[in-house]
Structure 1
Amino acid sequence: MQAAKIIPPLTEKPAHVPAELVRDVDIFNLPGAREDVHLAWKRIQMEMPRIFWTPRNGGLWMLTRAADVLEYQKDHETFSLKGALVPNHPRPFPAPPIDVEDAEHAPWRLLLSPAFSPKKVAEAEAMVRKVTIEAIEGFNARGECEFVREFTRILPIVVFLTMMGLPPEDKEELLPLADVIVTSSTPEKLTEARMALMAYIQKQVNERKINPKDDLITQIMNAKIKGEPIEERYAVGMLTLALSGGLDTVKNMLGFCCLFLATHPDHVRQLRENPDLIPNAVEELFRRHGVSNTARLVRKDCEFAGVHLKKGDQIQGVSSMVGLDDETVPDPMTVDFNRPMPIPHATFGNGPHRCPGSILAKREVVVWLQEWLPRIPEFRVKPGTVPRQNAGMVNNVAELWLSWDAAKTA
């Protein structure tokens, strides 16, 4: 017998929260999210106030309009990423650069940036293409695949682990931990997964002390901030944070992009007939299918979005809703591969904490389309199956069965 799901008690409304701004919204249980995550978020945007407070998940403010989300992402003096996850459960170890504020942030970020620079991404493209082709050829002749298990849990994870200097086969150990971190609302499970990832990185660091390598782990271990070597616990925390993020975001983005194309054959035909449109199409697909929904802690009492916020409040600006806002994007629920650039979205955040891996993420999806469409030009959701989606800290496609006529594929 399946155990009954434990629903945490509602948090009592703080005195400074106006009663008329309280809404019962649980990001892990959005109505309709299992069928269409982004439509569920769009309903929240249309039906809820510009800012509201929910008693779910420890109690927090939520922003629904693009302008407010973009402003709060850029204002690191008022909003701290130390409260990035909902519910707010502090990380049990330091993790720069996300935990470092103000002027101290940039030097830490610079330690990671070279690993994901345009030059490094260009150098990694041959590997991305090789892994992509091998994965596709592994199931092409069958005429079907479960896209999440057979592709999204392979390409971005193998690429990222390789770039970090980690064994690709370790993905089987690491992926379940990353899944817990972005999908669980249980503090105990969250801490257990974080500590397991940290223990994995600590083991790698210990090995590099004996046998240094030309990889990101060794580079971070030997890095300096303001001329001083960084403490090992900061290096381990930084690498653990990078590993957690790298295992999840692109995986879910690929799932949503593929689900859209599997249900929109005219868009697939457009890309087949005009492959030069693929980079613009990827930007538009990212806008329409945002995945990450990080939160912040309020650093000081302030007025924001027309309400009074208190120091220590948690506030979530749902990045997924930025690209769905009619005030920012004309006809936002429609995917238009000819939409004029730049296409506004917050899929990778904005401001000082913008994701350093965004260039790599875009390149992986571009390569996927370049290699997939010539081999599997027509595909669909497998009849008799229903894609499974989930909302939460990271929107995700949990299962996506596809089928195609294998006789027509290259």
Structure 2
Amino acid sequence: MTDTQLPTPIRLDEDFLQNPHQLFTQLRAQSPVREAILPRGIKVWLVTRYDDVRTVLASPHVSKDILSAVPLLERHSTSDEPQSFEAELALAGHMLNTDPPDHTRLRALVNKAFTPRRVEQLRTRVERAADELLDAMAGHAEVDLLTSYAFPLPTTVICELLGVPDTDKEEFRETSVTMTSAAQHQEMADAAMRMVDYLTRLVESKRSDPGDDLLSALVHAREEGVGLTADELRAMTFLLLVAGHETTVNLIGNSVHLLLRHPEQLAALRADPALLPGAVEEVLRHEGPLNIATYRYTTKPLQLGDVLVPEDEFVMISLASANRDGAKFPDADRLDITRDPTGHLAFGYGIHYCVGAPLARMEGEIALRRLLDRFPGLALARDPEELRWRPSTLMRGLESLPVRLR
């Protein structure tokens, strides 16, 4: 990593991806709004303090309309490799990448289908899926918790909710992992094109043969007489599928990883199961499933502390860093499941606050409770220093989590 005292942009390299908190601590103290270069070569401003991150999330002078930002992507690229964003942009026209009024219309359509009542109806299904996976794990002394539990649980739920066939889950997972990683440009473009082709076929199947699922509801939903276009349906399905499993996979994995590395916290949770909801919130704060949020850019100059970010610049906010800001959360680097982590930004803030947050919380609580009840002797099966984090600036999750069950 480049010394943070230097004026040159920081390169977010492999060392950063494995231990971002070391750099975030330095930046919050010395240079909380700093130019950086993403692994794919895009130059951005990296924002690391809690108050500044909240300012960016709420500012009317910061846009999420990535479809209008292609010239900025080209202008701020530092890569010598020719880059085309066509395939990825075909999946980008969802509500997370739009501004009002389009965002308002898209969110209203999703809210009609993604209701609290529909989420609560999934509770029994989540519990049953968790128990089935734990039954399958019980015959082994050691498993990779991500492969055996943290991935298939939320994937099963979101695929059933959207009406994705079981036979497609593994292919979708592999493509999704590539698209949320720091993969090279051509690999990313190839994965995006595979996803575009798959989702186009899936959406059309729901149009011709709708079922009792969320995607069918979205295909036929209307807001003031206007529905989603084919491009919007494909992009929205991509968002719900990826956000609906990627965040929860990492929430479950990070929860177990942290508790096993902090046995006093695990003991407190076992002694008082009523601490579970707060424990999930503390994991979301301390090591949430998202590191640096998706692209935003300034439409007017934006003052962040002592730094004036010019117009037409990408501003990348680190939710992980904001949630470790000691000015907001005292002793922020310490995991404490009894603390009040109210105000953490793991699910964002403002109009883009995660619509799936209630489902992720429910899945996280059920997954953790069922796992700890079933395997009281659960322990890490590898030295913690051997574990590797996924090569992604977006997702914060382990590549694998080997555990002993007894």
Runs in 1 of length 4+ with deviation above 6 angstroms? none
Per-residue Cα deviation, 1:22-53 (whole angstroms, up to 9, x for no partner)? 34231x5234x53xx45335434456401111
Structure 1 Cα separation of the partners of residues 346 and 28 of structure 2: 20
Contact 1:253 1:286 in 2 (8 A): yes
How many pairs align? 383
Identity of aligned residues (%): 20
State how 1:193-204 maps to structure 2 within 5 Å.
Answer: 193-204=191-202
Deviation at 1:191, TM superposition (A): 2.5
Deviation at 1:307, TM superposition (A): 2.6
Structure 2 Cα separation of the partners of residues 347 and 123 of structure 1: 24
In structure 2, what is the equivalent of residue 281 of structure 1?
279
Structure 2 Cα separation of the partners of residues 383 and 347 of structure 1: 28
Mind listing any 5+ residue stretches in structure 2 that lack a counterpart?
Answer: 78-84
Structure 2 Cα separation of the partners of residues 167 and 44 of structure 1: 46
Amino acid at match of 2:339: R
In structure 1, what is the equivalent of residue 395 of structure 2?
394
Per-residue Cα deviation, 1:274-333 (whole angstroms, up to 9, x for no partner)? 111101111111110122221433242313213333333111111111110001101111
In structure 2, what is the equivalent of residue 325 of structure 1?
325
In structure 1, what is the equivalent of residue 53 of structure 2?
69
Contact 1:45 1:321 in 2 (8 A): no
Amino acid at match of 1:30: D
Contact 1:76 1:101 in 2 (8 A): no
Structure 1 Cα separation of the partners of residues 195 and 60 of structure 2: 27
Change in CA separation of 1:373 and 1:81 when aligned onto 2, cut-off 3 Å: farther
What SS is found at the alignment partner of 1:304?
Answer: strand
In structure 2, what is the equivalent of residue 134 of structure 1?
132
1:242 counterpart (237, 240, 243): 240
Contact 1:21 1:51 in 2 (8 A): no
Contact 1:22 1:52 in 2 (8 A): no
Structure 1 Cα separation of the partners of residues 65 and 198 of structure 2: 24
383-392 vs 62-71, which moves further: 383-392
State how 1:110-149 maps to structure 2 within 5 Å.
Answer: 110-149=108-147
Structure 2 Cα separation of the partners of residues 184 and 79 of structure 1: 23
In structure 2, what is the equivalent of residue 188 of structure 1?
186
State how 1:329-408 maps to structure 2 within 5 Å.
Answer: 329-340=329-340, 343-383=342-382, 386-390=386-390, 391-405=392-406
Contact 2:113 2:218 in 1 (8 A): no
Deviation at 1:72, TM superposition (A): 0.6
Structure 1 Cα separation of the partners of residues 382 and 230 of structure 2: 52
Mind listing any 5+ residue stretches in structure 1 that lack a counterpart?
Answer: 1-9, 11-18, 406-410
Contact 2:9 2:35 in 1 (8 A): yes
User: TM-score by structure 1 length?
Assistant: 0.86
In structure 2, what is the equivalent of residue 4 of structure 1?
none
Per-residue Cα deviation, 1:354-389 (whole angstroms, up to 9, x for no partner)? 111111001011001221111111322114672221
Deviation at 1:76, TM superposition (A): 4.4
RMSD: 2.6
Deviation at 1:261, TM superposition (A): 1.2
What SS is found at the alignment partner of 1:398?
Answer: coil
Asked if residue 92 in structure 1 is aligned to residue 89 in structure 2, the reply is yes
In structure 1, what is the equivalent of residue 10 of structure 2?
24
